[in-house]
Chain A
């Protein structure tokens, strides 16, 4: 049973434990769960990744197609991020078009990748003003045990790094879907990591389980790499004290190092 709302007694216990700097699964407050990343898991995609963070699992796929550039950037390709919170992954998700949480997830991931300038959009130009590659990033939740946001962020980066450009027939002006060139999608060597910090009572934690996520009062998602912040978003209606916000910024570097090491270990 996954209760639609976590009970007050669990909330009380989570908070009490946090006061002592502890969590139910023995993790530190700034520690991520066990991470596993598998790329190339969906062979018809240009790039794909399966990410597991504890029991949370997401599947991300990258597809590419020819499109027209935006009028204010005629020599750049573009990107579209889409996320679906599948009913398959939790009794809390319903069938139907994406609700706000799915839309927000997609937009936060989009922001993280776009602001970091992770993809070299200029290399995706085929004919200036007329033809460019559009990169589609599609995110699907497979099992929700909290923090789909950060799992999806890691998955998007991994899938993009795995992606190869499809063959393009210049004469026929057609994409040869299913046939990939050996050319990888041009992305920066360094990558942004999205970390969402959650406020529970007076404490700040990262990578909440679903139970912890239920009692989180406010959250801040920060996309950063090696000390530079490129994107940030605060969610949930509770306000943060300035001190709490500064505490998050102080936690950022060490937390980032920890998760970055974990990612490096599993991705080439």
Chain B
């Protein structure tokens, strides 16, 4: 594979520094924070609880409802407060990434609300959001088959790389430019979410997926530890 020099100095398969903390919002049933480099996501879970509006209730099982948004000052060019098309789409993607693992059979007609906010953004926001949400759901005692771990792999010109930062995602233009592939894995290797933005062959995509899968295992360990550490000091 062709060598690449990344502006950050990272190796091709090197992830940014990650950290996590569980139980940061006392009012919520579950809450967590996930940090990846300069990207910070916080998530809070409220539920299971009565689902309003009534006409959206699912009589067969509980509903998972995710709301993702970025704080106006989390990016360099201020975002007007409120939902926009991008945040609406990512909210849905987050729901799809988490739904395969949550078990809501025991809560027909109820809702589990997941709120995710970016307090600081440097690309990889939806992945950080999903990682925080997964921990918050576990912290809230929601039955889950698994935890999910999310990371973006990608391509810079012809090289497969891991975890694009903002510069690489939006300003890198050499050769074939940058391709961003956020993915989410369960701890036993199942894929619950993938998106591709760029220019990539199926073979390269397979390689990117392998790289992301390996990285997701490291993220899982951090999430697991954050959950276990949260028992020292409860809300």
Chain A contact residues, CB within 8 Å of chain B = 2, 41-46, 48, 55, 57, 59, 61-63, 65, 82, 84, 86-91, 95, 97, 136, 138, 140, 142-145, 177-178
Contacts and interface: CB of A to CB of B under 8 A. Distances in A.
Contact of B27 (A41, A61, A144, A177): A144
Contacts, number: 81
Nearest to A210: B27
A41 B120 CA distance: 8
Given A44-B74, A88-B42, A136-B72, A59 B27 contact: no
Most chain A beta-carbon contacts within 10 A, residue among B40, B43, B115: B115
Given A44-B120, A65-B78, A88 B73 contact: no
A145 B78 CA distance: 28
Contacts of A87: 46, 67, 113, 115
A63 to B, nearest CB: 4
A44 B76 contact: yes
Given A88-B42, A178-B76, A138 B28 contact: no
Interface residues of B toward A: which range?
20 to 34
B78 A136 contact: yes
A55 B26 CA distance: 7
A195 B38 CA distance: 34
The SS class assigned to the B binding surface is loop
Contact of A61 (B25, B49, B71, B82): B71
B117 interface: yes
B44 interface: yes
B21 to A, nearest CB: 13
A88 B81 contact: no
Given A44-B76, A62-B73, A89-B44, 11 more contacts: A44-B122, A45-B73, A82-B81, A88-B28, A88-B43, A88-B44, A89-B25, A91-B49, A143-B26, A144-B27, A145-B26
B120 A43 contact: yes
Contacts of A57: 25
B27 A140 contact: no
B153 interface: no
Contact of A140 (B28, B46, B49, B71): B71
A143 B71 contact: no
B121 interface: yes
Contacts of A43: 38, 120
29 contacts: A41-B120, A42-B74, A43-B38, A44-B74, A44-B76, A44-B120, A44-B122, A45-B74, A46-B73, A55-B26, A57-B25, A62-B73, A86-B115, A86-B117, A87-B46, A87-B113, A87-B115, A88-B42, A88-B117, A89-B44, A95-B67, A138-B71, A138-B81, A140-B71, A142-B42, A143-B25, A143-B27, A145-B26, A145-B27
Given A44-B121, A88-B117, A138 B25 contact: no
B30 to A, nearest CB: 12
B119 interface: yes
A177 B81 contact: no
Nearest to B44: A88
Contacts of B76: 44, 177-178
